[in-house]
Chains A and B, each alone.
Chain A
């Protein structure tokens, strides 16, 4: 099976694997490895570019999820789709309530509750059909979501990162529940990148990396360390070296911060002038929250952030930018640019607050020359027309534009999240070089990236994030990709995860 998206992204490259009836089959891989694409193809949400699926030895190419559901395939998404204000039974039966309707269209609630209760009993779960969804904790809601699928007599259940939303103490309960599903004779696909859980649950494991299947293994034949290696790809090219211009003064100091969403927990670090500090981790372990907390769009529950000595915790984004912060977001289309507006307008954004183009009236010539210098310095290919809408640019050119605009602030601290995601090799090199030039002037860079090669080639120091905590710290040149991959997947260092210790 292959899938190439219209924008040229090769999400899957001739992947093949098989799932046996009645097993729990784990699919592991980093974010962007192609897991979601693969599952969406199975469920009829996306059409593959080439390849085929055999389901129970029959050719199967769903054009719509309903076709997959008819064949007994059920999918549980990461984000719940439940109606908050009605009961468990009502949610589960929703869409098929006509089974319980009398001729007068009255729903026989008792029969409905009974049929749901029998399913709950078979799985030995501790929820009642009468509970309202909004009175249930997250972990139970997720079980309701799965019940919904099982109730429709799905024999093949896909669970997409089900433990991502669970607290550590809820995980064991959940895993037990999944084992219960297997005992009912059903097949489960379990997508995760937490290897502790995977090894506790799965019969077989398929590893995806950058759109390729590295292999499918019986759990007994592999250990966590080798799976982590295959998943993250530790045969990294270390030809690049971090810049060597470390100063002594601290430019940014983060002191014990926790954010209000509860994701980041008690995080502290110092960034020195001329330093690139890398944050590694598998996506969803607090990277986005760290960015938002630094940008000022996510409030802190505790702790303090200091920029060159003075606290910026209570400042909004504008005041932080004025204090010397620049921000490269990981979502260029959604947060970093206004795709429908022109290149000039996108370059001006933020800089206009510094009076570069006049206080009231926009000085056209200043705006143009400013934009033209960014377009030239960062090789943004736009056919010399800076009035083109940004949407018309390729992903790499958009990213160069975004990076160029942020570095043009000449910031004291640059926070860059996934600065080279989805860009070609040349653009990547250009962006990396611009970071190197920036630190030479004494600025500091926070590099949040899921790309280990990028971090190891660029950062003077690496902090690994796992479940919102800094689990380890390493300093160049003492980088060990294998070791880092263990920390990233929670095999090491995660005190609050019971499955982490081998």
Chain B
């Protein structure tokens, strides 16, 4: 590993203070919601980790979050902002569904792999045009990727309403994918499937890519100082384009895994904002793939735990959104002190 070493006692202390701040504000919010904070935390923890069913549910929810966060992180390494994870994920989901209900190669594994590759390609295509506009016309990718989300949502709404609507369904949704495309659940009574291992595998690949590969090194240098990168002979535009394409593919893959592993079709309001939650996770994880897994676990646990909280108390499950926001605000405030100011 060739990165900088930046651990110090002061940073450790600040990190502890940060966690303390977040926990105390969380306690306050739960208390305002009309529940004793300790009980509240207990319900959240029990609801997310209490038994193996809940634990698997938490892990399963992590899959789209991890990949959507990675979709932001990889472009961020080169200094690009990919706010379009949501749209890329939708396109990817549709790509997987399209393959799943229309083609069949006869072998289950081949089917799944092809569908996932197509989903990644669809996501990549949806990231390609903002990247291209950025590089050729210097259009701000924040704007184009963000707007791309709304275009994608409308586009998918049209596709599942008209050309690809399931004729037997009263709702706007695609037909189910063929059973040979389905990634099976691994445990009875849980939606947990091999998709989790695909997501973790991707994170490991990204981690190794960044630390050990020449191209990963170029990503980091480009993001750290693009002028220097250019003067060193790194092709900055190409590198940025590549990072954006990888990001789009990861978001698309998230959509594909959701379809093959859970929903088995694309319907209206397919994503409850995975792309944006992924963005938050990535920000909290400072673009680091391993940290993304940790933060995604936390987010996911908060979501499953809050459902339990609602079940036993008067606190609504939507509280998880508020708790996540508190975390983001505090981390943003502490970031400068802990990792130092960084441009880019």
B214–A359 CB distance below 8 A = yes
Residues of B within 8 A of A297 (CB): 230-231
State whether the Cβ of A136 lies closer than 8 Å to any Cβ in chain B.
Answer: no
Q: What count of chain A residues pass the 8 Å CB interface test?
A: 37
Tell me which residues from 202 to 224 in chain B have a Cβ below 8 Å from any Cβ of chain A: 212-215, 217-218, 220-221, 224
- Find A340's partner among B2, B217, B224 (CB 8 Å cutoff): B224
The answer to whether A350 and B232 touch across the interface, beta carbons within 8 angstroms, is yes
Contacts of B225 in A (CB 8 A): 334-335, 337-340
Q: Which residue of the partner chain, among A337, A350, A389, contacts B233 with CB atoms under 8 Å?
A: A350
Decide: B217 and A387 in contact? CB cutoff 8 A.
Answer: no
B231 near A327 with CB under 8 A, answer yes
Chain A positions within 8 Å of B3 at CB level: 341-342, 345, 387
A78-86, A230-238, A360-368 - interface stretch? A360-368
Given contacts A341-B4, A342-B2, contact A334 B217 (CB under 8 A): no
Instruction: Tell me whether A357 is interfacial, beta carbon within 8 Å.
Output: yes
A165 within 8 A of B: no
Q: Does B138 contact A (CB under 8 A)?
A: no
Interface string of A290-324 (1 = CB under 8 A from B): 00000101000000000000000000111001100
Task: Decide if A342 touches B4 in the complex (CB within 8 Å).
Answer: yes
Counting chain B CB atoms within 10 Å of each CB, the highest count among A334, A340, A344, A361 belongs to A340
Q: Min CB distance, B309 to chain A, in Å? A: 41
Min CB distance A31 to B, Å, is: 21
B23: Cβ under 8 A from any A Cβ: no
Q: Which residue of B lies closest to A291 (CB)?
A: B231
- Closest Cβ–Cβ distance, residue B330 to chain A (whole Å): 23
Nearest-Cβ distance from residue A353 to partner chain B, whole angstroms: 5
Q: Which residue of B lies closest to A358 (CB)?
A: B214
Q: Chain B residues near A329: list those with CB within 8 A.
A: 231
A352 and B4 form a contact (CB under 8 A): no
Interface pair A335/B212, CB less than 8 Å apart:
no
In angstroms, Cα B231 to Cα A327, docked, is 8
**Min CB–CB distance A363 → chain B (angstroms):** 10
- CB closest residue in chain A, given B218: A352
Minimum Cβ distance to chain B for residue A318 (Å): 4
Q: Tell me which residues across on chain A come within 8 A of B235, comparing CB atoms.
A: 316, 318
Inter-subunit contact A335/B224 (CB<8 Å): no
Q: Does B6 reach chain A (CB closer than 8 Å)?
A: yes
Count contacts between A and B, CB distance < 8 Å.
Answer: 93
Is B5 part of the contact surface with A, judged by Cβ < 8 Å? Answer: yes
Q: With A and B bound together, what is the CA distance between A318 and B342 in angstroms? A: 27
The chain B residue sitting closest to A359, CB to CB, is B214
CB distance from B8 to the nearest CB of A (A): 12
How far is the CB of B264 from the nearest CB of chain A, in Å? 38
- Contact string, A77-103, partner B, CB cutoff 8 A, digits 1/0? 000000000000000000000000000
- A349 within 8 Å of B by Cβ? yes
Q: Is A338 a contact partner of B2 (Cβ separation < 8 A)?
A: no
In the assembled complex, how far is the CB of residue B257 from the closest CB belonging to chain A, in whole angstroms? Answer: 27
Interface assignment of A336: CB less than 8 Å from any CB of chain B: yes
On chain B, the residues within 8 Å of A348 by CB distance are 2, 217
Assess whether B6 is in contact with A364, with CB atoms less than 8 Å apart. no
Closest to A336 in B: B228
Residue A388 lies at the interface, judged by CB distance under 8 Å to chain B: yes
Residues of A close to B213: CB separation below 8 A: 360-362
Report whether B227 and A335 are in contact in the complex, using a CB–CB cutoff of 8 Å: yes
- Determine whether the beta carbon of B214 is less than 8 Å from that of A338: no
A322–B233 Cα distance when bound, in Å, is: 9
In the assembled complex, the CB of A398 is this many whole angstroms from the nearest CB of chain B, namely: 12
B-side contacts of A342, CB under 8 Å: 2-4
B227 in complex: contacting residue of A334, A358, A359, CB < 8 Å = A334
Q: Does B22 have its Cβ within 8 Å of any Cβ on chain A?
A: no
Complex: how many Å from CA A295 to CA B225? 17
A340, B4: Cβ atoms closer than 8 Å: yes
Tell me which residues across on chain A come within 8 A of B221, comparing CB atoms. 338, 341, 345, 349
Contact call A387/B228, Cβ cutoff below 8 A = no
For the complex, give the distance between the alpha carbons of A329 and B224 in Å: 17
Min CB distance, A256 to chain B, in Å? Answer: 25
8 smallest beta-carbon distances between A and B, as pairs: A318-B233, A350-B232, A338-B224, A349-B232, A338-B225, A389-B4, A342-B4, A344-B2
**Interface set of B (CB-CB < 8 Å, partner A):** 1-6, 212-215, 217-218, 220-221, 224-225, 227-235, 342
Could you list which residues of chain A lie within 8 angstroms of chain B, going by C-beta atoms?
295, 297, 316-318, 321-322, 327, 329, 334-342, 344-345, 348-350, 352-353, 357-362, 364, 367, 385, 387-389
13 other contacts beyond A336-B231, A340-B225, A348-B217, with CB at 8 A cut-off?
A317-B231, A337-B228, A340-B224, A342-B2, A345-B2, A345-B220, A350-B233, A350-B234, A357-B214, A360-B214, A361-B213, A361-B214, A362-B214
A to B CB contacts below 8 Å, 23 in the list: A316-B235, A317-B232, A318-B233, A334-B225, A340-B342, A342-B3, A344-B2, A345-B3, A348-B217, A349-B221, A349-B228, A350-B231, A350-B234, A352-B217, A357-B214, A360-B215, A362-B2, A362-B213, A362-B214, A364-B2, A385-B5, A387-B4, A389-B4
